[in-house]
Structures are given as structure tokens and as C-alpha cells.
Amino acid sequence: VFRVCVPEVAISEAIEHAARVDVVLWPDGQPAPVSIEDVQLLVPPRRLAAMTTDELALMPRLEVIQLLTAGSDPWLGLAPQTVTLCSGQGIHGSSTAELAVAAVLHQIRDLARYERQQADRRWQPGERHSIAGSNVAVLGAGDIGGRVADVLTILGARVVVVSRTAREGILSPDEFRPLIAEQNVVVVATPLTAQTRGMVGKEFLAALPDQAVVVNVARGPIVDTNALLAELHSGRLSAALHVTDPEPLAGHPLWTAPNLLLTPHVGGGSMGWQQRAGALVQRQIGHLLRAEPLENVVG
Amino acid sequence: VFRVCVPEVAISEAIEHAARVDVVLWPDGQPAPVSIEDVQLLVPPRRLAAMTTDELALMPRLEVIQLLTAGSDPWLGLAPQTVTLCSGQGIHGSSTAELAVAAVLHQIRDLARYERQQADRRWQPGERHSIAGSNVAVLGAGDIGGRVADVLTILGARVVVVSRTAREGILSPDEFRPLIAEQNVVVVATPLTAQTRGMVGKEFLAALPDQAVVVNVARGPIVDTNALLAELHSGRLSAALHVTDPEPLAGHPLWTAPNLLLTPHVGGGSMGWQQRAGALVQRQIGHLLRAEPLENVVG
């Protein structure tokens, strides 16, 4: 019997339970289940940032940690060499890309202004910026960044995609640096690494043109919160954050910053994600049982 | 000399004034310029719904009325047979498509909920619907409808496009009718005609599933305002209207309807439209001077 541990009933239900597979549940905020010591594939609880090595030592038979998130930064280097770490890339990609597009359009078309007019019962058309004709930089060439770039191109934006290593159609950070001053929109969709931490900092933000929009759907620490706050308060830039640094926010100046749309890490949290997660776990089990390479291996 | 009359300096400036072309200005809300009697190509003031036949009689040399709007309904049949009526299709297409996408995503991801949480300083993730996995019907297969369909397909929606005449990949209204009950989103992007007036009426709306989203970027009277109001107040449907019936709104129940985003006919009103309008006028002048067929002829 192959033992799998997942954090939600809906994911468990999305896995077809073959005779050779046993699925146990470890819900968010609960202690580990009794049968944890037999677990071979672990899908950790969602709200668990990472595990301690002591906790991991409770699972001597563990072969795979399958994350539900596209990012895997807190887990890297944590598990013993015998354990393969796999990201949840693809589970939330389309949903996060769609929230990024929603946020870009919300900010560049200034929908909040129409919501205020609606509250005041004022019919007041006026000309606003549009994504058509805008320059957009997408930082990150993965599933999310690729979808955002495709969509905004169809809507008439001139899009550049930036990634660690330049390749056909993709700029390196060094190639991109001189172009920052031309970008009306920046979408952050790159993993958090030592290189990307603080990448969108004071200098980067200061180089953006007036009225530029910064959207972060990746990880909070890629954007320098204090530098962004200063630009928001000056009215020069606007932003949409699905992720923040710190996160979650409690009594933080971001709550009251002007020109900001805050969506509390809900990029991937759209209905149907459990089915996509279950399907991925199911495929990974198949790979293990057939001794095939796993998908989404990150460590 | 070929005489052109346009309503905005920015459009005039976007037309290259060849030696043979003379451009006069007729701004919104102003009386017709003195030289109106020589005008051969008229771009009417934007806020002018249509002209009277008396006003048109002031321009005995008029050959072409070039509208700035994609819709041309108030002008049809108004001018003498000798005058060609051309729509502004293409001037506002990308901009209107982008606002339609913004509105669809705003409503299906319930961004207003996060704006309320932000005002209350509440960090409260939660699962919402997404366009990925949703069924979307786009009514209208023109420039705007086509772009909306392409974008939402990339974002993972299952899209059907409906037009007067069925063709490859496009359903007729009769073919579409049995599918209304499956649509999570309906985007209205079809011209106002005798057939489309009231098309999204009480029966159509009642057939939609719970929590469906109706977005109208075409013309107000295609959607039955009272039937929509009833569905919004019951909480069953949500909507985004860029156009309304009546329009503009003054002291109307739509202002206070729940589950509604109102953007006061700003679909095409994004920066850069005057350049696109000027380019179209310039091309039309070229066609006239070279005795070629005009673009966007509607009557």
C-alpha cells in the first residue's frame, strides 16, 4: 500500500483511490495524524509555511513532498536528500494569471474611480489610460508570467518578459534594466530567490514613469514594501498586491495606502483548485509506482 | 481643396494636412462653424446623438459622415442617399474589449469584496469563482467580441460566440438559446438592431444559472433594465454596465442596485483614441481622393 497524506477532503476525493493507495487527512491547524509515520507522499497543510526537521523526522518512509503552491522557497533544503520536493506549479497558474490581469486592468482603467462615482451617483465619463498602447514588463517567464504576457499582448500592450536567463524573446535582468523607465505596467510573477528578493526596490520604482502600475502576484519580499509605500503616498505610482511583506498584514501602513488594491493572497484560491491538485497528486503517484520521473521537481 | 470637419483639435492634429485638405473644427456643444456649407467629410461632435435633416441640409456638398462610435443606430437612414455613413469600428475596439475583460474579471473574482475588506483592514482569503473553468457566451462576433473571446479563452474559459448568422465556430441565436442555462458569464458586444433590442430580457436572464455575470459594453437597450434590476436585487446575478438604458443615468434605480459595476460609457474613452480616429479619417480621405471604396460603410 502506498500512503499519501493530504490536507483537504476535496483533494482526497479528487484522487482516485486505487487498491494500492491509502489517503490520510492532515487538516490545517491540526496535529499530524497517527499514521503519519507510514506516509510516502506528503501534501503539507496549506497554512504551514514549512516544517521543522523534527517534524519531517516523524516520516521515515517519506519519498515526496508535493507542495500546493507554485513557490517553494521556505521548503528548499529542509528535507533529507532522500526526499524529493515538488512544487504545485500549474495548480494555481491560470487562476493567478487571471487575477494578475484583473488587477492590471482594474488599476490602469482606474475602476475604483467609477466605483466612487457610482456611490455618489455621478455619471462622469472621462479619458483614462488603457492597456492598449501601454508598455508592460512581466518579471518571470513561467506559467503565470507567460499567460499574463499573452493576454496583455492581445489587448494591445507592448510586452517584454524578463527572466533570470535571457533566451529567445525573453530579456535578462541586465538587458531589462535600461528599459525600466519605459514601463507603464510591471507584473511581478517570478519565484522568490536570493536574486529576486528586493528586486523591485527603491531604485527600480523610482525609475518607473509617472502613473505606472506595479502588480505583485509572486511573493511579497520581491517588492520593497517601504519604497512602494512612499511611491503610493506621493501619488506617483499605483499598485495591486496579492502578496505582501509582511504577510498576512496586521496593523500595517499598507492597509491605508492610497492607490493600492489589496487582494489577500487569493491568486490561486479559486474554485476547482482542489481538483487540479488532486489530479497532480494522482499523476505523481502513478509516476512513483511506475518508477518514472516526477513532475515539478524543485529539490 | 477637400473640406473635413472634426470635433476635436487632437483629431485634427492627427490628420496630416495635405495641401488639398482643409480641416475645420466643430467642438461639442458649439454651433456649426461658418464654413460648414463646404464640408465634404463630417466627423460629428461626439455628444451629438444624431442630426436633424435640417442640420444636414446645411451641408449640400456632404459626401461622407464618419462616426467616432462603433455603433451607428441613431444615424441610420438620416442622411440623403448621396451621403455615405461610416462607423468608427476599430477606433475603440481594443479599448472597449479591455474594459469588458476588466469588468468580467472584476465581477467573477468579486474584487469589490476585497476592496471592502481593505477598507475594514481585514486579511481574509477565501475561495471565489474564476474565469478559468467558467462557461462564457460572447454575443457579437465583431472586433470587440472577437478580442474578448480570445482573451478569456487564454485565461481558461470555455467560450461560445453568438452572432446573427451562424458560421464556422459561431452560433446563431437559435443555436445558442438552449445553452443559455450553462453560461456563467455573458458579454454583450453586438450592435443594437431590431433583433438585438431587448434580447437579454427577462426570459434570457431567468435562464442563466445562479451567480452568473452579465456585462454590457454594446448599447443599453439590448439588456432589459428592469429585468436586470430584479435579478441584481434578488442577489442571483451580478452585472457590469458600460452602457445603460436610459443613458446617461439621472436619479435612476440602477445607481443603487447591488452587485453592479457601472462605468459610464467609458469603454472606448481611453487615451490615444483621437490618434486612431485621425488615422481612420486620413485613410478615408485617401480613399475618396483615389475613388476607392470607403472603410466601415454602414449606410
B168-193 residue pLDDT tens: 889 999 999 999 999 999 999 999 99
Determine whether the interchain pair B147/A155 forms a contact, defined as Cβ–Cβ distance below 8 Å: yes
Q: Give the pLDDT band of residue B217 (cuts 50, 70, 90).
A: very high
Select from B111, B150, B264 the Cβ nearest to the Cβ of A125.
Answer: B264
Question: In terms of DSSP bridges, do strands A64-66 and A84-86 run parallel, antiparallel, or are they unpaired?
Answer: parallel
CA atoms within 13 A on the CB side of B193: 9
pLDDT tens-digit map of A100-135: 999 999 999 999 999 999 999 988 887 778 898 899
Check pLDDT > 80 for residue A46: no
* Closest CA in chain A for residue B124: A264
Does the CB of A98 have a partner CB in chain B at under 8 Å?
yes
Chain B residues closer than 8 Å to A111 by CB: 102, 106, 111, 261, 263
Check pLDDT > 70 for residue A269: no
Q: Which residues pair with B2 in a beta bridge?
A: B21
Put simply, the chain B residues between 192 and 251 with a CB less than 8 A from any chain A CB are: 248-251
Q: In 3D, which of B230, B221, B251 has the Cα closest to residue B241?
A: B221
pLDDT tens-digit map of A195-208: 999 999 999 999 99
Check pLDDT > 90 for residue A257: yes
pLDDT tens-digit map of A156-170: 899 999 998 888 889
Determine whether the interchain pair B270/A130 forms a contact, defined as Cβ–Cβ distance below 8 Å: yes
Determine whether the interchain pair A129/B265 forms a contact, defined as Cβ–Cβ distance below 8 Å: no
Determine whether the interchain pair A264/B117 forms a contact, defined as Cβ–Cβ distance below 8 Å: yes
Check pLDDT > 80 for residue A31: yes
Check pLDDT > 70 for residue B47: no
Determine whether the interchain pair A123/B99 forms a contact, defined as Cβ–Cβ distance below 8 Å: no
Check pLDDT > 80 for residue B272: no
Check pLDDT > 70 for residue B49: no
Measured at the CA of A130, the angle between CA A125 and CA A134, to 5 degrees, comes to 155
Chain B residues closer than 8 Å to A273 by CB: 127
pLDDT tens-digit map of A184-243: 999 999 999 999 999 999 999 999 999 999 999 999 999 999 999 999 999 999 999 999
Determine whether the interchain pair B270/A99 forms a contact, defined as Cβ–Cβ distance below 8 Å: no
Average predicted confidence (pLDDT) for chain B: 90
- Residue A287 appears among annotated catalytic residues: no
Check pLDDT > 90 for residue A67: yes
DSSP-derived 3-state class of residue B16? coil
Measured at the CA of B272, the angle between CA B270 and CA B274, to 5 degrees, comes to 100
Select from B106, B131, B270 the Cβ nearest to the Cβ of A129.
Answer: B270
Does the CB of B153 have a partner CB in chain A at under 8 Å?
no
**Catalytic site residue from A92, A219, A242, A276:** A219
pLDDT at A1: 85
Determine whether the interchain pair A264/B123 forms a contact, defined as Cβ–Cβ distance below 8 Å: yes
Q: Tell me how far apart the alpha carbons of residues A67 and A90 are, in angstroms, rounded to a whole number.
A: 11
8 A C-beta contact, residue A21 and residue A4? yes
Q: By percentage, how much of chain A surpasses pLDDT 90?
A: 60
Determine whether the interchain pair B261/A105 forms a contact, defined as Cβ–Cβ distance below 8 Å: no
Determine whether the interchain pair A102/B99 forms a contact, defined as Cβ–Cβ distance below 8 Å: no
Q: By percentage, how much of chain B surpasses pLDDT 70?
A: 97
Exposure string of B8-25, with b = 16+ CB inside 10 Å and e = fewer, is beebbebbeeeeebbbbe
* Closest CA in chain B for residue A271: B129
Q: Tell me how far apart the alpha carbons of residues B166 and B130 are, in angstroms, rounded to a whole number.
A: 29
Active site (catalytic) residues of B: 219, 265
pLDDT tens-digit map of B127-144: 778 898 899 999 999 889
Check pLDDT > 70 for residue B81: yes
Give the ranges where chain A is alpha helix by DSSP (H).
9-14, 53-56, 93-108, 111-119, 143-154, 173-176, 202-207, 225-234, 273-289
Chain B residues closer than 8 Å to A97 by CB: 155
Chain B residues closer than 8 Å to A264 by CB: 114, 117, 123-125
* Residue of B2 and A92 predicted with greater confidence: B2
Question: In terms of DSSP bridges, do strands B238-241 and B260-262 run parallel, antiparallel, or are they unpaired?
Answer: parallel
pLDDT tens-digit map of A128-143: 788 988 999 999 998 8
- The distance in angstroms from the start CA to the end CA of chain A is 25
Q: What was the ipTM of the complex prediction?
A: 0.77
* Closest CA in chain B for residue A98: B155
Check pLDDT > 90 for residue B297: yes
Q: Give the pLDDT band of residue B46 (cuts 50, 70, 90).
A: confident
Does the CB of A158 have a partner CB in chain B at under 8 Å?
no
Q: Which residues pair with B238 in a beta bridge?
A: B213
* Closest CA in chain B for residue A113: B263
8 A C-beta contact, residue A133 and residue A108? no
Q: Give the pLDDT band of residue A268 (cuts 50, 70, 90).
A: low
pLDDT at A254: 95
**C-alpha grid cell, residue A216:** 505583485
pLDDT at A267: 65
Q: By percentage, how much of chain A surpasses pLDDT 70?
A: 97
Q: Give the pLDDT band of residue B269 (cuts 50, 70, 90).
A: low
